[in-house]
A = this chain, B = another copy of it.
Amino acid sequence: MKEKFTVTPWEVSGLVDYDKLIERFGTQKIDNDLLERIKKLARDSHFLLDNGFFFSHRDLDKALESYEKGDGFYLYTGRGPSGDMHIGHLIPFVFTKWLQEKFNANLYIQITDDEKFFFKDDAKFEEIEKYAEDNILDIAAIGFDPEKTFIFRDSEYLGKMYPIVMRIAKKVNFSNVRAVFGFKNETNIGMIFFPAIQMAPCFFEKKICLIPAAIDQDPYWRVARDIAPKLGYPKTAAIHSKFLPSLQGPEIKMSASLKETAIYLSDDPKTVKEKIMKYAFSGGQPTIKEHREKGGNPEIDISYQWLSIFFEPDQKKLKKIYDDYKSGKLLTGELKQILIDKINDFLENHRKQKEKAAKLIDKFKYNGNLAKKMWNL
């Protein structure tokens, strides 16, 4: 029985049962009606919705309603710059870009360099700063609208946010954050205060804020929703993704300290090939002969899962891979090679985009239309 799993903003472990998590967190499943409604309004579909990777929400229906009425919504997501980014980190940004484009929405991207400093005992701020700037380049490479996207580091922007941070902090006490985030008496006062900072962008505009992010961040939005009416704002909406399973399997957390659990955006083609061939958990049989006879199990095969979640949006092609692997026609090495090629194509393109994005950073951070407005508050 593998029912024990933990999902908090700082720890995801065990085999996550996403239906149970919806119950635990008290969120809503994205059902077919809602999916159809998004497609209708977006006049497009997105594979990360179709394949159920974004699977849960809070008040997404209200955000869409506001869009239908012409009031719209704005988007907010973020990144804790504790190290180099891997592919799992990037996926929510890919979906966020689609939302921005289809719903013509302002987007705020918070880089929580302060959080990482508070939460990692041995973190040097100079190191976090280096990661922050490189992570921003990776994020900018996704291709957001530089006039409608504001990327900011907390350590740089807190001054401008502080009036709203103050209003939030006054409404949240130690009991609240202890209950929601598990803080203890030994928790440093930076960590205790930090939720007020992560919640601040939920109140950057008076319209509904929609947050596309992995579901582990949901506790913040729960608190933000509780206090929103007290501050005179609409309740924050969220659309939650699952987690990309790590190379070794869904129960092994991707970790910056175990480089072989993930594919980093900076991994070169040779490294990618080595990592997938050597570490990607396989649903295949021990020998080719056996595999041809019994077939593989795509359900537990990480290469197949990565293809189905992100790297093969084409459902027809995916079905063929599934069937061929299950029948034994497709060998594990061949399946892995399909993924390796997809990843290396993706990363090659990403690195090109990242280079191009360098000259847009000033727009995202300081002088695009939205950035300028936020600095002139």
Binding site for B on A (CB under 8 A): 114, 117-118, 125, 154-160, 162-163, 166-167, 169-178, 183-190, 192-193, 195-196
Q: A158-B158, A193-B193 are in contact. Are A188 and B163 (CB under 8 A)?
A: no
Nearest-CB residue, chain B, relative to A161: B159
Using Cβ atoms and an 8 Å threshold, which residues of chain B touch A156?
159
- Contact between B159 and A188 (Cβ–Cβ < 8 Å)? no
Using Cβ atoms and an 8 Å threshold, which residues of chain B touch A178?
185
Using Cβ atoms and an 8 Å threshold, which residues of chain B touch A125?
163, 166-167
> Bound state CA distance, A44 and B193, in angstroms?
46
- Contact between A193 and B169 (Cβ–Cβ < 8 Å)? yes
A174's partner among B117, B159, B170, B192 (CB-CB below 8 A) is B192
- Contact between A190 and B196 (Cβ–Cβ < 8 Å)? yes
Q: Interface SS of chain A: helix, strand, loop or mixed?
A: helix
14 A/B residue pairs, CB under 8 Å, sorted by A: A114-B166, A155-B162, A166-B190, A169-B190, A170-B188, A171-B188, A172-B188, A173-B186, A173-B189, A174-B186, A174-B189, A177-B189, A192-B192, A192-B193
- Contact between B173 and A187 (Cβ–Cβ < 8 Å)? yes
- Contact between A173 and B188 (Cβ–Cβ < 8 Å)? yes
Q: A125-B163, A185-B175 are in contact. Are A170 and B190 (CB under 8 A)?
A: yes
**How many Å from the CB of A186 to the closest CB on chain B?**
5
> Bound state CA distance, A178 and B173, in angstroms?
13
- Contact between A162 and B158 (Cβ–Cβ < 8 Å)? yes
> Bound state CA distance, A346 and B337, in angstroms?
87
> Bound state CA distance, A114 and B162, in angstroms?
9
**How many Å from the CB of A131 to the closest CB on chain B?**
16
**How many Å from the CB of A277 to the closest CB on chain B?**
42
A189's partner among B154, B158, B163, B196 (CB-CB below 8 A) is B196
Nearest-CB residue, chain B, relative to A162: B158
> Bound state CA distance, A101 and B171, in angstroms?
43
> Bound state CA distance, A178 and B178, in angstroms?
15
Using Cβ atoms and an 8 Å threshold, which residues of chain B touch A157?
159
Q: A125-B166, A155-B166, A158-B159 are in contact. Are A192 and B189 (CB under 8 A)?
A: yes
* A-B residue pairs, 7 tightest by C-beta: A159-B159, A169-B190, A193-B193, A175-B185, A158-B162, A174-B185, A169-B189
Nearest-CB residue, chain B, relative to A119: B170
> Bound state CA distance, A185 and B195, in angstroms?
16
> Bound state CA distance, A159 and B114, in angstroms?
12
**How many Å from the CB of A113 to the closest CB on chain B?**
9
Q: A118-B170, A169-B118 are in contact. Are A193 and B189 (CB under 8 A)?
A: yes
> Bound state CA distance, A310 and B190, in angstroms?
41
**How many Å from the CB of A42 to the closest CB on chain B?**
37
Q: A186-B175, A192-B192 are in contact. Are A163 and B155 (CB under 8 A)?
A: yes
**How many Å from the CB of A195 to the closest CB on chain B?**
7
> Bound state CA distance, A169 and B171, in angstroms?
20
Using Cβ atoms and an 8 Å threshold, which residues of chain B touch A171?
188
Nearest-CB residue, chain B, relative to A176: B189
**How many Å from the CB of A94 to the closest CB on chain B?**
31
**How many Å from the CB of A243 to the closest CB on chain B?**
28
